[in-house]
Copies of this chain bind each other. A is one copy, B any other.
């Protein structure tokens, strides 16, 4: 049996209709970076204008009472229901991913004062590692690094071996930013709890493409990004999840007016709010919270499980075409081959990929280059067609052949004096 063609896969794709909902981009042949910055929807341009005219310009300060004060919670609950498997009242939208990581990591380690270690894998996203290192230094803790295979990610047995009675907090990525490895969220969470520690999952590279069972897996804390598969726009604010059973126990360090029990009392002394309110700090970043709502409409319509099915089909198609077209040119695959162990992106490697990326960008084929030699193909399920993946692989093949050819030529000699 031959592999299905991209055209066949598109014809049989139950979510194919969604690709047309995204804003067209002139000259774009294949967008393979939806795991870094999701594309805007067609409706987003118009609705941002409406927001300026009607909500901000029309209602002015009254809109705070009418809708914006509730938005961090309402939008958090919506993300939770559509993508996180989490009941209401445990998720807020606020701050950047980095700031939320700081606030929740600090809250967690301060809630486990007798324990002195934060456990991370050494291939975790830089900001996770940097934030943890800063907190370890300021709180007198140690980091215990789990050394992982960068073409895979952190495994349950590695976590079991690393944690113990001195572990305060384990911080891991659900989907590894480099390899796309999909960690065993439920198994690792259980193991962490068995050791009496807390776990914080970074969901940046999974949310919106992989169903996440936060409540079912009894996760403690999570932080995620909204500008990748939630298409919130560049630098859109992050979301944070704190299991209800922990909310009153935890206190985060950036205590600002929006986290206070009575926001407009303007009184003396900070009293942390109930529930998720205490995890807010400053004024909610309303303008940055608009576009993700349009994407949530689509995710709700499609359903996260159907989205995951398409995601798997997209990465499987990409891997088949890489095997057929690029591996013969010396490309290696730096992502798990088993679909159950993979999120919605795959990374491939070749020494010429830095030069290849520059050529591809000029031609409207946009993957993400990761030093020293990685090309990351992020396949956002609702905006990406199988044909687009095929065009992307074809373009990589062509650019790679050119790059290899160019670098094989003898260097030009200096002109005669």
List CB contacts (< 8 Å) of A53-111 with chain B.
53, 56-64, 68, 95-99, 101-102
Which B residues are in CB contact (< 8 Å) with A62?
361, 366
A381 at interface by CB-CB < 8 Å: no
Interface size grouping (class) on chain A: 35 or more
- The answer for the CA separation of A346 and B389 in the assembled complex, in Å, is 60
- Contact indicator A133/B270 (Cβ below 8 Å): yes
A269 at interface by CB-CB < 8 Å: yes
A340 at interface by CB-CB < 8 Å: no
A23 at interface by CB-CB < 8 Å: yes
- The answer for the CA separation of A127 and B258 in the assembled complex, in Å, is 8
- The answer for the CA separation of A24 and B281 in the assembled complex, in Å, is 32
- Contact indicator A61/B368 (Cβ below 8 Å): yes
A329 at interface by CB-CB < 8 Å: no
- Contact indicator B52/A45 (Cβ below 8 Å): yes
List CB contacts (< 8 Å) of A273-289 with chain B.
281-289
Which B residues are in CB contact (< 8 Å) with A270?
129-130, 133-134
A138 at interface by CB-CB < 8 Å: yes
Contact of A127 among B25, B28, B96, B282 (CB under 8 A): B282
- Contact indicator B256/A131 (Cβ below 8 Å): yes
Min C-beta distance of A367 to chain B, whole Å: 9
- The answer for the CA separation of A256 and B40 in the assembled complex, in Å, is 26
- Contact indicator A45/B23 (Cβ below 8 Å): no
A415 at interface by CB-CB < 8 Å: no
Contact of A95 among B51, B96, B130, B366 (CB under 8 A): B96
- The answer for the CA separation of A122 and B286 in the assembled complex, in Å, is 29
A37 at interface by CB-CB < 8 Å: yes
Which B residues are in CB contact (< 8 Å) with A51?
48
A235 at interface by CB-CB < 8 Å: yes
- Contact indicator A234/B64 (Cβ below 8 Å): yes
- Contact indicator A44/B37 (Cβ below 8 Å): no
- Contact indicator A99/B234 (Cβ below 8 Å): no
- Contact indicator B127/A257 (Cβ below 8 Å): yes
- The answer for the CA separation of A359 and B375 in the assembled complex, in Å, is 61
Which B residues are in CB contact (< 8 Å) with A126?
257, 260, 266-267
- The answer for the CA separation of A37 and B337 in the assembled complex, in Å, is 52
- Given A134-B253, A134-B255, A281-B99, check contact A33 B60 (CB 8 Å): yes
- Given A134-B254, A258-B98, A284-B235, check contact A60 B37 (CB 8 Å): yes
- The answer for the CA separation of A201 and B361 in the assembled complex, in Å, is 45
Which B residues are in CB contact (< 8 Å) with A52?
23, 40, 44-45, 48, 233, 291
- Contact indicator B45/A61 (Cβ below 8 Å): no
Min C-beta distance of A128 to chain B, whole Å: 9
A386 at interface by CB-CB < 8 Å: no
- Given A134-B270, A285-B288, A287-B291, check contact A61 B36 (CB 8 Å): yes
Where the two chains meet, the residues of A that have a C-beta atom closer than 8 Å to any C-beta of B are 22-26, 28, 31, 33, 36-37, 39-40, 44-46, 48-53, 56-64, 68, 95-99, 101-102, 122, 125-127, 129-131, 133-135, 138, 227, 232-238, 253-260, 264-270, 281-291, 361, 366, 368, 370-371
4 closest Cβ contacts across the A-B interface?
A96-B282, A98-B256, A98-B282, A23-B57
What are 16 of the A-B contact pairs (CB < 8 Å)? A23-B53, A25-B57, A25-B58, A40-B53, A44-B52, A45-B52, A45-B57, A56-B234, A60-B366, A61-B368, A95-B96, A97-B282, A98-B282, A235-B288, A236-B287, A266-B371
Excluding A25-B59, A235-B287, 13 further A-B contacts by CB distance (< 8 Å) are A44-B52, A48-B49, A52-B233, A95-B282, A96-B283, A97-B282, A97-B283, A98-B282, A99-B281, A126-B266, A134-B253, A234-B286, A237-B285
